[in-house]
Amino acid sequence: MDTQQIIAIVVVAVIAIALIVAGVLADRSRKKRIDAAEQAREDREAAAKAAADKAIAAKQAAGSEAGSAAGTASTPSDQKSGAESAESMKQAESAQSAASSTESAGSAQSAQPESQTSQTAESQPQTPESATSRMTRLKARLANSANPFGKALFNILAKDHLSEADWEDVEDTLLMADVGADASEQLVDELRNDARITGTHDPAQVREALRSKLLAMVGTDTDRRLNADKPEAHKPSVIIMVGVNGTGKTTTAGKLARLFVADGKSVMLGAADTFRAAAADQLETWGAKVNVPVVRSDKDGADPASVAFEASQRAKNDNADVLIIDTAGRLQNKANLMDELGKIRRVTEKNLPVDEVLLVLDATTGQNGMEQAKVFAQAIGITGVVLSKLDGSAKGGIVISVQKELGVPVKLVGLGEGPDDLAPFNPEDFVDGILA
C-alpha cells in the first residue's frame, strides 16, 4: 500500500469521525429545543387553565351579586323570563372585574384534593340556571350570532326567477355549512319541487317553506331526552363522555353536572381522564361550585378504567341519581386508546349499566368532526351527540349531517363559555335562530 492510499484512508476516516461528532451534537441540540418547546407548551396550558378557572369563578360570583341586586330568588323554579336572564348576564359581566381576585383565591383553595374521592363543600354553593331559562336565552344568542347559513339560503331563494346557477349556489351554501353531500342534494330537490319556492315570490311563504324543509331535515319527532331523564333509567344512571382533545369535553361534563343539579338530581363525577394533568383538577373545580363530589386518582397517568370502576362503585353505594365519567381525549388513529374506552365501559358495567355515551363535537370543525364521530361510534357505541361552540353556526349544518350519518340525535348544544351555556337541543329554536 503506497503513501497516497494511506493518506486517502486517513482523510476518509477523519471525515467520517467529524460527521459522526456533528450528528451527535446536532441531535443533542434538537433534543434540547424539543424539551424547551414541550416545557413552554405545558406552561401555556397551565396558564390557560388557571385563567379559565379565574373567569368561571369571577362570573359566578358576579352572577350571584347581580341576582341579589335585582331582588330575584336563586332557585331553579324561580327563574325569570329570557329577557331578565339576559339583563342579569349584562350585570354580571360589569361586576366581573371587581369580583375576580377574591373569588379566584377562594376557588384555588377549594380545589385542593385531600383523598382519592374529593368533595369540596362551599359555604354558599351556586344555584345553576334552569333548563327552560337556558333555552330561552340561548335561542336569543343564536339569533344574534353570525350565522350566514340560514340567511344566505333565504336570500337566494327569495329571488325572482331562480336560475340553475342560483340552485347551484343553494347547494354550495349547504355544503359549506357542513350539511353533507347527500342531505344537501335531498334538500335542494325538495325545495325545487315546492310550489312556495317556485310558484310565488312572497318572502313570508319562501321563509316558511325553507323553515319546514330544514325542520324536517333536523327532525322534530326525535326523542332527544337524556336517558337519565327517562322513567326507565337506572339509578344511578351512568353517562360516559367521549371526544377528542379541544372539543370542550371536560368542560361539557362539568356543565352537564350543573344541568342535572338544576333539575334537583344528585350527581357524582368520575375523572377518568388521567392522561391530561389538569383534567381532574378542572373537573374538581366544576364540581366544587355545586357541591358535586369527584372521584379521581391520586396520581397522574393512573389506569382510567380503575377510576371509572371506583366511581361507579362509589355512586352505587351513595345511591346517586347520575354518574358522569369524563374520559381522555382520544385520537381516532390510536387504536390502543380507542380500546381503552371499551375497557372503561366494560369495567364500569361490572357495577352499573351504562345508560348513555355522549360524544362531544366541536360544531366548528365540520366534516373533520364527522370522521371522529364515526370512529367513536364503532369503538364504544354512542347514544347522543353534544355540539359545543354552536354559536359559530356558519357550520351549523353539522346538526343534520351528524344525525344522518350516525343515526343518533343531537341532545345538547353549547352556545358560549358561561357555566350555564349548555341546554337541551330544540330543533325549532335552532332553525328559527339561523333564519332570524
Q: Is 199 annotated as a binding residue?
A: no
For residue 222, say whether it is annotated as part of any ligand binding site: no
Q: In what order do the strands lie in the sheet with 117-118?
A: 117-118, 294-295, 267-272, 322-327, 237-242, 354-362, 384-388, 410-414, 422-424
CB atoms within 10 A of CB 158: 16
Q: Find out whether 291 and 122 touch, Cβ atoms under 8 Å.
A: yes
329 is in an annotated binding site: yes
Contact 295, 269 (CB under 8 A): yes
How far apart are the C-alpha atoms of 66 and 86, rounded to whole Å?
A: 12
Interatomic CA distance for residues 302 and 269, integer angstroms: 17
Say which residues have a Cβ less than 8 Å from residue 39's Cβ, sequence separation at least 6: none
Report whether 247 belongs to an annotated binding site. yes
The pair phi, psi for residue 422, each rounded to 5°, is -130, 130
Question: Is 246 assigned a ligand-binding role in the annotation?
Answer: yes
The count of other CB atoms within 10 Å of the CB of residue 390 is: 30
Instruction: Check whether 301 is labelled as a binding-site residue.
Output: no
245 is in an annotated binding site: yes
- Is 316 marked within a binding site? no
Q: Do β-strands 322-327 and 384-388 pair in parallel, antiparallel, or remain unpaired?
A: unpaired
Q: Angle at the Cα of 388 (from 83 to 433), degrees rounded to 5?
A: 45
* 106 assigned binding-site residue: no
What stretches of 95-220 adopt beta strand conformation (E)? 117-118
342 is in an annotated binding site: no
The grid coordinates listed for 420 are 350555564
433 marked ligand binding residue: no
φ/ψ (deg, to 5) at 358: -100, 125
Q: Coil, helix or strand for 263? A: coil
- 365 annotated binding-site participant: no
Residues 325, 356: Cα–Cα separation, whole Å? 10
Q: Is 134 annotated as a binding residue?
A: no
The annotation status of 243 as a binding-site residue, yes or no, is: yes
Q: Is residue 11 part of an annotated ligand binding site? A: no
User: Annotated binding residues, as ranges?
Assistant: 243-250, 326-330, 388-391
User: Annotated binding residues for GTP, as ranges?
Assistant: 243-250, 326-330, 388-391
